[in-house]
Structure 1
């Protein structure tokens, strides 16, 4: 029997089962956030909009059964949300990379109790490529500036087919300018549908440059 289509997130229709998973994750998150600093306390009152809907944009930009690596997964944004949305199609997988043991414990519980399609790897980001050598897509939210993120993802981007998606706030143009002299890559800026002054940067075809050479190619 097909799951009933009763709810939506950012305009994406999802089944009642997926909505139940998101609601269960919300309750788990609020419970664990009482003792672990999972997000800025000032944003807890708007968890659904500031974190869950914001995170869901990543999957909406790259839907379908992909293998993801989510860097610095922390409180599960966007990695757990992507994992839950992949459960809707019963395919794909998210490898959540988190070095903090307490946050990793929360992520494991969240994945297990929601039936999401993901697994947790207690690793520093710079050690992850050796353990997780290939993926279709990479995500990161509130982890590091763009230059450092590009350094982190370089081993995965060598195939030329991997796409990276980074949430960025109002200062994203300064981060792009800072990265310009070190890397050449194609870049698409997706306007956030949740935060007016935020974007999601989609990076493809990246390579490191000789010092002082090259520029960033921007599409879209």
Structure 2
């Protein structure tokens, strides 16, 4: 028996309406995720009943904020949020190209299978963000991330894209103002905040530029954001 609340689908698509074709692609993604979730922790198990609102609609709300774009990169895609959902929404655009960066090989395998089955315009890059960001950045219009890292670290990971003119769309929580204050010690950030449609405490940080106040140091470790709460 499915653990996903079927009524949640209607609530989610009421919050962020999409075309019938996009909704069908999302159905494919959700069904596959529930199947793979039995063996791989793609989302926090406690959030599975609210998958449609907690994860799908939460991701979908980024698309209208981006405007008319075709080149999108999602960092630390994990279970496909927001990357797979964004790709489902952009699939009707002929030139759409969504790249998902995910270093966990099992999760990367899920992303590839979901993209294949749902016929999404997706390329999965199974690598650490630091290793591929510079080569992926040219021409990218939007860089996104969800539950990936504290803002200062997130800006560092996304900087190659921001420096090439991409807009950052980052799903954050109610502490985003504090994160911006902390990040201001290392970055001069131009941004605005939009409220979340799905979470009263959620915020969407829209970053138009980020300039380091000192040379960027080689980062140790890897922020992946592969399991979303």
Deviating above 4 A after TM superposition, structure 1's stretches of 4 or more consecutive aligned residues are 10-13
The question of 1:191 aligning with 2:195 is answered yes
* Residues in 2 aligned to 1:198 and 1:187: alpha-carbon distance in whole angstroms: 16
Which of 47, 50, 65 aligns to 2:51? It is 47
| 1:34-84 per-position Cα deviation (integer Å, ceiling 9, x unaligned) | 110111111001000000000001112113232111000000000000101
* Residues in 1 aligned to 2:199 and 2:63: alpha-carbon distance in whole angstroms: 17
Which of 107, 112, 115 aligns to 2:111? It is 107
**Which runs of structure 2 are paired with 1:69-84 in the superposition (5 Å)?**
69-84=73-88
* Residues in 2 aligned to 1:185 and 1:36: alpha-carbon distance in whole angstroms: 36
* Residues in 2 aligned to 1:55 and 1:69: alpha-carbon distance in whole angstroms: 14
The question of 1:56 aligning with 2:56 is answered no
Helix, strand or coil: the match of 1:108? Answer: helix
Which of 19, 22, 44 aligns to 2:23? It is 19
Aligned partners of 2:100 and 2:122 also within 8 Å:
yes
Structure 1 length as normaliser, TM-score?
A: 0.87
Query: 1:195 Cα shift?
Result: 0.2
Larger relative contact order (CA 8 Å, sep ≥ 6):
2
Aligned partners of 2:169 and 2:207 also within 8 Å:
yes
Query: 1:13 Cα shift?
Result: 4.5
Helix, strand or coil: the match of 1:17? Answer: helix
- CA 1:49–1:123: 2 relative to 1, 3 Å: same
Instruction: Structure 2 unaligned segments of length 5 or more: list them.
Output: 1-9, 216-229
Q: Could you say what the CA RMSD is over the residues aligned between the two structures, in angstroms?
A: 1.7
| 1:156-210 per-position Cα deviation (integer Å, ceiling 9, x unaligned) | 2223x21001100122222111101100021110100100001010111210014
Helix, strand or coil: the match of 2:18? Answer: strand
Instruction: Structure 1 unaligned segments of length 5 or more: list them.
Output: 1-6, 212-220
Structure 2 length as normaliser, TM-score?
A: 0.84
More strand by share: 1
Which of 199, 206, 210 aligns to 1:202? It is 206
Aligned partners of 2:16 and 2:60 also within 8 Å:
no
Aligned partners of 1:75 and 1:107 also within 8 Å:
yes
* Residues in 1 aligned to 2:95 and 2:85: alpha-carbon distance in whole angstroms: 14
* Residues in 2 aligned to 1:155 and 1:115: alpha-carbon distance in whole angstroms: 29
The question of 1:158 aligning with 2:152 is answered no
Q: Which residue does 2:4 correspond to in 1? A: none
- CA 1:12–1:91: 2 relative to 1, 3 Å: farther
